[in-house]
Chains A and B, each alone.
Chain A
Amino acid sequence: MPKVNIVKKSTDTDMTPFVDVAFLILSFFIMATKFKPAEAVPITTPNSVSSQKLPENDAVLISIDKDDKVYFSIMAKNDPQIAVDIIKGAAQARNIPVSDAQAKNYFPGDMIGVPFNKLGAFLAMSNDDKKKYVQEGIPVKDSANNELYYWIAATRTAFAGKPLKYLIKGDNVSKFPAFQAVIEALKKNDEQKYNLVTMPEGAPEGSELWRERNQ
């Protein structure tokens, strides 16, 4: 009888290529990740087909959260003096005393959402306290006392002669009147061009834009 020779193979598989791939993916994600800056107020923006990039400098951001509260932030990381000028200018227009030290305590990108009478106290808070503090939003509803108007007027003065963009970031469920009040404050300052912050989305298949992009 011939002998059947069964080759016994080891049950261990060579894991090396697998691990190689895993670490390749790992390094990709480490490099591609850009951490979300911690947001004091979470805002879910709508989607749009627009592909313009969001400017990170020389801009002011007006945010509307889901409860229709309005916040103002200054995006000028490369020139901190501008933020100080804006804060002092806006406060001065309303005769609210804000010291240099308080204004310097503002970190570019922070959201200000307090009426002017609470501004000094809010700016004086430590960073941790600021995050915990529930802001009531900048009053905009009453068109005679639209405080955002003064913020934008001060911004225009501080940025005079420099490029400046107005970013508006609204939450999906915020109501239209809040957005309208923001536009009203900008219009009063003779500002007609804005950039709305959205998340990217593909053009729907078959639409005219889709045909143009796929040509």
Chain B
Amino acid sequence: MTPMVDLGFLLITFFIFTATMSSPTTMDLNMPKDNKNEEDQTKVKQSGALTIMVGKDNNLFYYEGELAPDGSNFQSTNFKEIRSAIIKKKKQVEASYVTDAACEAKARQEGKNPADCRQKDFFVLIKPTEEANYKNVIDLLDEMTINKVARYALIDPFDTEKDLITASQGSAPAAAPPAQ
């Protein structure tokens, strides 16, 4: 019986190693049409906007609302901490929600949760720079699903933002110095 058992285990090991247990999944991405017409463009309320930029080496930068001229609200962060920033901003927007009957009625009609109206002013702008990885972008889009952010968009950063990113990436300690 021993040779048979040997062969059996050999086959088990082979199948364990070749098995692809998790088949790939897909995630939806809907991009807006490029509207030249100002009136058709989606308006975003300054108070509910959160802009997240992706720099090189998995660095993230974000600011709330409008970018201050002196860049004082421009903050640098990373993928571990961005979630709390998103949640904080979302809570803040939800707290300042004034009951909007029209929105809630529309949500009910369409079979959606009227509670989602609470975050109707919340809008996340994802701006990857040219140095961003594909993984970074997917991770951020995934973060929107994880935190149930209803409205977000993927757009190009402004030149002022690019400059700020370059400046802060240059000044920040490049990487942890190697241990002695």
Where chain B touches its partner, the secondary structure class is mixed
A175 at the interface (CB under 8 A from B): yes
A203 at the interface (CB under 8 A from B): yes
A209/B28 contact (C-beta < 8 A), A175-B133, A176-B128, A176-B137 known: no
**Contact call B12/A54, Cβ cutoff below 8 A:** no
B146 at the interface (CB under 8 A from A): yes
B138 at the interface (CB under 8 A from A): yes
A49 at the interface (CB under 8 A from B): yes
A48/B133 contact (C-beta < 8 A), A15-B5, A36-B20, A54-B25 known: no
Which of B22, B24, B34, B147 has the most CB atoms of chain A within a 10 A radius of its CB?
B24
A5 at the interface (CB under 8 A from B): no
Give the distance in Å from the alpha carbon of A25 to the alpha carbon of B83 in the complex.
41
8 A-B pairs with the lowest CB-CB distances in the bound complex, closest first = A29-B15, A50-B27, A195-B26, A170-B134, A176-B132, A172-B135, A46-B138, A46-B135
**Contact call A199/B31, Cβ cutoff below 8 A:** no
B interface residues (Cβ-Cβ under 8 A, vs A): 1, 4-5, 8-9, 11-12, 15-16, 18-34, 54, 83, 128-139, 141-142, 145-148
In the complex, how many angstroms separate the beta carbon of A167 from the nearest chain B beta carbon?
7
**Contact call B139/A46, Cβ cutoff below 8 A:** yes
Give the distance in Å from the alpha carbon of A160 to the alpha carbon of B20 in the complex.
34
A140 at the interface (CB under 8 A from B): no
| Stretch in A76-84, A94-102, A115-123, A186-194 with 4+ CB within 8 Å of B | A186-194
**Contact call B142/A49, Cβ cutoff below 8 A:** yes
Which of B12, B131, B141 has the most CB atoms of chain A within a 10 A radius of its CB?
B12
- A to B CB contacts below 8 Å, 20 in the list: A29-B15, A32-B21, A46-B135, A48-B142, A50-B25, A50-B26, A52-B25, A52-B26, A52-B27, A52-B28, A53-B26, A176-B128, A177-B130, A192-B32, A193-B28, A194-B31, A196-B141, A198-B25, A200-B25, A208-B148
**Contact call B25/A22, Cβ cutoff below 8 A:** no
**Contact call B19/A207, Cβ cutoff below 8 A:** no
Name the CB-closest residue of B to A30: B15
**Contact call B29/A194, Cβ cutoff below 8 A:** yes
A174 at the interface (CB under 8 A from B): yes
In the complex, how many angstroms separate the beta carbon of B75 from the nearest chain A beta carbon?
21
Task: Give every chain A residue within 8 A of B1 (Cβ-Cβ).
Answer: 15, 19
**Contact call A54/B26, Cβ cutoff below 8 A:** yes
**Contact call B28/A26, Cβ cutoff below 8 A:** no
**Contact call B134/A209, Cβ cutoff below 8 A:** no
Give the distance in Å from the alpha carbon of A212 to the alpha carbon of B115 in the complex.
14
A46/B134 contact (C-beta < 8 A), A22-B5, A207-B83, A207-B146 known: yes
**Contact call B27/A48, Cβ cutoff below 8 A:** yes
A183 at the interface (CB under 8 A from B): yes
**Contact call B20/A34, Cβ cutoff below 8 A:** yes
Name the CB-closest residue of A to B16: A29
A197 at the interface (CB under 8 A from B): yes
Across the interface, A64 reaches (CB within 8 A) one of B4, B22, B131, B134, namely B134
In the complex, how many angstroms separate the beta carbon of A142 from the nearest chain B beta carbon?
15
Task: Give every chain A residue within 8 A of B130 (Cβ-Cβ).
Answer: 175-177
In the complex, how many angstroms separate the beta carbon of B79 from the nearest chain A beta carbon?
11
A215 at the interface (CB under 8 A from B): no
Task: Give every chain A residue within 8 A of B16 (Cβ-Cβ).
Answer: 29
Name the CB-closest residue of A to B54: A176
Name the CB-closest residue of A to B131: A175
List A32-66 residues whose CB lies under 8 Å from chain B: 32-36, 45-55, 64
